[in-house]
Amino acid sequence: MGKFVISTRKNGEFQFNLKAANGQVILSSEGYTTKAACENGISSVKKNSQDTAKFDKITAKNGKFYFNLKAGNGQIIGTSEMYESEAGRSNGIKSVQENAPDATIDDTSV
């Protein structure tokens, strides 16, 4: 089962990473100014991850593949790691869809 890990950046902002059961980070958030906003981001990932249309599949300039998960308003709520292949990226999206809905929250920001 996956989990969201909330942490604090050096600049004081909060962020979350969604980790798969094996501990690998499969989605990372932007920085949030408050923990409440970060927690809202997690709720948004749980909801929007079930809609395949919310995943933007992107090819970076270096030829690697990644995706962004967007909220209903079009704002990016999470970005994946870089993948060597399109198949790897597809597996990453599938992993987010499988792990996000029931993922626990581990708050390490305190």
Does pLDDT of 50 surpass 80? yes
Confidence label for 1 from pLDDT (cuts 50, 70 and 90): confident
pTM metric for this prediction? 0.94
Confidence at residue 46, expressed as pLDDT on a 0 to 100 scale:
97
| DSSP symbols for 57-99 | EEE-TTS-EEEEEE-TTS-EEEE---BSSHHHHHHHHHHHHHH
57-77 per-position pLDDT tens digit: 999 999 999 999 999 999 999
